[in-house]
Chain A
Amino acid sequence: MTTHTLSTLPRHLLSAADLNRDNALLVLDTAEELARLADRPIKKLPTLRGRTVVNLFFEDSTRTRTSFEVAAKRLSADVINFSAKGSSVSKGESLKDTALTLEAMGADAVVCRHSASGAPHRLANWIRGSVVNAGDGTHEHPTQALLDAFTMRNRLGRVEGLNVAIVGDVLHSRVARSNVLLLSTLGAEVTVIAPPTLLPVGVEEWPCDVSYDLDAVLPKSDVVMMLRVQRERMYGGYFPTTREYSRRYGLDARRMATLPDDAIVMHPGPMNRGVEIAAEVADSVRSTIVEQVANGVSVRMAVLYLLLGGALLETAEQAA
């Protein structure tokens, strides 16, 4: 167990770039310890008792919302779920008014998922609590990157020096952006692979390599992360057909066989079986897709603990 010296933790987690190497490792090490909670009869810690965590989900996502809910409840926090459907949010209440309501409720942390890039940044201006970005538009999804790094470390023993291939619709992927940032902070070598239409102008400035050729990169990859490709992108003319996309960029059994022996296959979910990933690959022993879900709870517990643990410290210092 490494001993950590605590560098200042940010107040919010809006981008994977908010974490320097020390803080990122702190999150992973804390998550590792918290993961053992799942083996205990009483899966609860009293640490965030009396704190209120609000799940503010403007986009539907049962999987991520539940993950944060379980994480908060295991730390004994009170959880309030605001979801887009059937609330004032769906009736067109503005982001600002929603923020003011949360302030009035005394939310200590707001976990925010929104279809607009930058929505959590605006929210952070209007509330006193901590904001955790659970996915904003096509910008970032930092806890996803953290649980992905955690999974890599679990399976392969380290993140530093790993060759990680991220494959798919990088242009529209918040998972890709957060992963590229976090993995490079942790010392991995990242390559993004996509058809040219699905790579953003400006990707040359990212801390990663770029390739259009999946077959060339796979034999050198310790980790292959497949991103979900939406069929709607076909209608935007990003690729001619899903068949052609699959043929050129899909991970099928043949391609999986070209991977090094210990290489793992990851996917943030939900999957398009048969498009970016073949069923037999998703179900293979190399696949970490199921454990990524479990790891999500541990990582989110670590994030909530580290962000909320010190919150009152600021107020105490101000009062002193």
Chain B
Amino acid sequence: MKPAHSGPTPSGRPVTGDPSAARPVLDSADLGRALTRIAHEIVERNHGASDVVLLGIPTRGVSLAHRLGERIAGIESATTAAPVGSLDVTMYRDDLRLRGVRPLEATEIPPGGVDGKVVVLVDDVLFSGRTVRAALDALSEFGRPRAVQLAVLVDRGHRELPIRADYVGKNIPTALTETVHVLLAETDGRDGVLLGPADLQRTSSEEAAR
């Protein structure tokens, strides 16, 4: 089984790089606008937000899900705000044996559950698609949504599975020797998306396969 990052990382170790060597591709204002647009698209496609549940994939997907939730509440009236939760996929990953053990993050399904709902999975970067596949497996343990959609801030290409996003903040074509850094105020102190060179360096689990 191939690891998510192939090419210059034959040993399958996660690839990342030094954010200070990266160049910005989205600034804070752009990021905010992208989220606002996605929020409108979610409401438009689902004819309102009454059945929508936003589930962020930790870590940064959760912050993004909360921001989308706030924007959706601003579009529609308060009575149809979409519930927001989180869905940790660590235990469903297909690359545990190659990447090793990582600490678990929180899974919080909102009180209404997911049965019959439109679940919008929210993540920061879409890359190989394996995280989303794991999320679909995890989600199926909690119930049976009417539909599942995917919102990502950045789609950087290089899919290894037949998975596509329904809502994309920005398409950024990348080389495998590059890496995308998403920074959010909640976790990193500021907002922005950077593109930089990849390092063959061991890192914390947060920077691992997307």
What is A's interface to B at a CB cutoff of 8 Å?
Answer: 1, 3-6, 9, 26, 29-30, 33-34, 36, 40-42, 44-47, 75, 305-306, 309-313, 316-317, 320
Q: A310-B101, A312-B97, A316-B98 are in contact. Are A5 and B91 (CB under 8 A)?
A: no
Contact of A309 among B11, B88, B96, B141 (CB under 8 A): B96
Chain B residues near A311 (CB-CB < 8 A): 97
Q: Is the CB of A6 within 8 A of B98?
A: no
Complex CA–CA separation, A312 to B204 (angstroms): 18
Q: Is the CB of B91 within 8 A of A47?
A: yes
Residue of B nearest to A9 (CB): B101
Complex CA–CA separation, A9 to B106 (angstroms): 22
Contacts between chains A and B (CB distance < 8 A), count: 67
What is B's interface to A at a CB cutoff of 8 Å?
Answer: 10-12, 59, 88, 91-92, 96-107, 137, 141-142, 204-206
Q: A46-B137, A309-B96 are in contact. Are A6 and B101 (CB under 8 A)?
A: yes
Given contacts A9-B101, A41-B141, A316-B11, 5 further A-B contacts (CB under 8 A): A6-B103, A26-B103, A46-B92, A47-B91, A313-B98
What 4 A-B pairs come out closest when comparing CB atoms?
A: A309-B101, A312-B97, A320-B11, A310-B100
A298 to chain B, nearest CB (A): 11
Q: Is the CB of A305 within 8 A of B101?
A: yes
Chain A residues near B98 (CB-CB < 8 A): 312-313, 316
Complex CA–CA separation, A75 to B96 (angstroms): 13
Q: Is the CB of B141 within 8 A of A42?
A: yes
Q: Is the CB of B91 within 8 A of A46?
A: yes
Q: Is the CB of B104 within 8 A of A30?
A: yes
Q: Is the CB of A313 within 8 A of B100?
A: yes
Residue of A nearest to B101 (CB): A309
Complex CA–CA separation, A305 to B105 (angstroms): 14
> What are 23 A-B interface contacts by the 8 Å CB criterion?
A3-B204, A5-B204, A6-B102, A6-B103, A6-B204, A9-B101, A26-B103, A30-B104, A33-B88, A36-B107, A41-B141, A42-B141, A45-B91, A46-B91, A46-B137, A75-B91, A306-B101, A309-B102, A313-B97, A313-B99, A316-B12, A316-B97, A316-B98
Chain B residues near A41 (CB-CB < 8 A): 141
A3 to chain B, nearest CB (A): 7
Chain A residues near B137 (CB-CB < 8 A): 46
Complex CA–CA separation, A5 to B96 (angstroms): 17
Q: Is the CB of A33 within 8 A of B204?
A: no
Complex CA–CA separation, A306 to B104 (angstroms): 10
Complex CA–CA separation, A193 to B98 (angstroms): 47
Complex CA–CA separation, A9 to B100 (angstroms): 11
Complex CA–CA separation, A29 to B98 (angstroms): 23
Q: Is the CB of A1 within 8 A of B10?
A: no
Complex CA–CA separation, A311 to B98 (angstroms): 9
Chain A residues near B142 (CB-CB < 8 A): 40
Q: A6-B204, A40-B142, A45-B91 are in contact. Are A317 and B101 (CB under 8 A)?
A: no
Complex CA–CA separation, A4 to B97 (angstroms): 19
Complex CA–CA separation, A316 to B98 (angstroms): 7
Contact of B103 among A30, A45, A46, A320 (CB under 8 A): A30
Chain B residues near A312 (CB-CB < 8 A): 97-98
Residue of B nearest to A1 (CB): B106
Q: Is the CB of B204 within 8 A of A320?
A: no
B143 to chain A, nearest CB (A): 8
Q: Is the CB of B101 within 8 A of A33?
A: no
Q: Is the CB of A33 within 8 A of B106?
A: yes
Chain B residues near A5 (CB-CB < 8 A): 204
Chain B residues near A320 (CB-CB < 8 A): 10-12
A260 to chain B, nearest CB (A): 32
Chain B residues near A75 (CB-CB < 8 A): 91
Chain A residues near B92 (CB-CB < 8 A): 45-47
Q: Is the CB of B100 within 8 A of A4?
A: no
Chain B residues near A309 (CB-CB < 8 A): 96-97, 100-102
Residue of B nearest to A320 (CB): B11
A46 to chain B, nearest CB (A): 6
Kindly name the residue among A46, A75, A311 whose own CB sees the greatest number of chain B CB atoms within 10 A.
A46
Contact of A33 among B10, B12, B104, B205 (CB under 8 A): B104
Residue of A nearest to B93 (CB): A47
Residue of B nearest to A311 (CB): B97
Chain A residues near B107 (CB-CB < 8 A): 33, 36
Chain A residues near B106 (CB-CB < 8 A): 1, 33
Residue of B nearest to A36 (CB): B107
Chain A residues near B12 (CB-CB < 8 A): 316, 320
Q: Is the CB of B100 within 8 A of A3?
A: no
Q: A42-B141, A316-B12, A320-B11 are in contact. Are A47 and B103 (CB under 8 A)?
A: no
Q: A6-B204, A47-B91, A320-B11 are in contact. Are A34 and B96 (CB under 8 A)?
A: no
